[in-house]
Amino acid sequence: MGVIETLIVTTALAGVLGTGLGGLVGALLQKDSNRMVSLLLSFAGGVMLSVVCFDLVIEAIETNAGLWAVALSIILGVTVTYILNYLIDRKTNPEVPHIDASHPKTADDLDELIHSDHLEQHYAKHDGKLGLFIAGIVMACAIALHNVPEGMTIGASYASDNGVMGSAALALAILIGLHNIPEGMAVSVPLISGGMKKWKAVLITACSGIPTILGALLGYVLGEIGPMGLTVSLGFASGAMLYVVFGEILPQSILMYHSKLPAFSTIVGILVGMLIVFL
């Protein structure tokens, strides 16, 4: 199997299969545990943070494109992800009744993070097909904001290893797959609650993982352009992932489960990530 085919299969397993599995679990149980999801997210966030800082950023520096190029690429990744996330939140939050002035500025539920609560509102109001379609597109874009940079980290790491599926890229793929399971649960449950058939909800949930593949291909293609392209790919993916971890995953995991355990789970994740990178 060629380089591109291997990359597509790996990220499809992480993105589509991981999210689809979460959707299936959500369809069967139609409930989730905030504690379990919080600890899983904080652990995955810790590992991703460790891999980004100990592997991707260091590899970006070692391309010898210059520290400023690395720093600017990271800033670009953070900025673009934040702006896109802000625009989607600004559009959808006012349409959800429970999100008001007293609500936390960041999501305290997976449904809010990926805006499946917004789609559920459209189902509850029995909106027409166009309204439901637009709400679905908004939710898909919200999920893509997380899945594209996640995929880019795999693709960029893959490119930095000269097309070889190294331990860092493989670990990222596995972790992203695990991280996508609770996200898939959060997508399918409100869809089913809104009246959608279970098989259709699971199918839509699985398809929401497709942006992971697109992100991986983008990260790999940029990385293959040359040293500067690899620097931009690694830096942008790192910046986007840093924003997702610090701006979304960690605040959300703490708000979902008010305890010190998410902090310890994150620390364990960082240590596990360090072992993955250096062993």
Does 32 have pLDDT greater than 80? Answer: no
Rounded Cα gap, residues 74 and 151, in angstroms: 16
Does 148 have pLDDT greater than 90? Answer: no
Average pLDDT, the chain: 80
- pLDDT above 70 covers what percent of the chain? 89
Rounded Cα gap, residues 96 and 247, in angstroms: 21
pLDDT category of residue 164 using cuts at 50, 70 and 90: low
- Integer angstrom CA distances of residue 218 from 170, 206, 257: 17, 20, 35
Range of the domain at 120: 3-278
Question: What does the pLDDT read at residue 186?
Answer: 65
DSSP code, position 65? S
Contact 172, 7 (CB under 8 A): no
Query: Over the stretch 100-142, which tens digit does the pLDDT of each residue have?
Result: 777 777 776 767 777 777 777 777 777 777 777 777 777 777 7
SS3 229: helix
Domains of the chain: total: 1
The per-type count for the chain, helices as H runs and strands as E runs, is: 14, 0
Contact 81, 149 (CB under 8 A): yes
Q: Kindly write down the DSSP assignment for every residue of 242-263, as one continuous string.
A: HHIIIIIIHHHHHHHS-SSHHH
- pLDDT above 90 covers what percent of the chain? 13
- Integer angstrom CA distances of residue 203 from 11, 114, 142, 151: 17, 17, 17, 20
Does 58 have pLDDT greater than 80? Answer: yes
Query: Over the stretch 212-270, which tens digit does the pLDDT of each residue have?
Result: 888 888 888 887 777 888 888 889 989 988 998 898 888 888 888 888 999 999 999 89
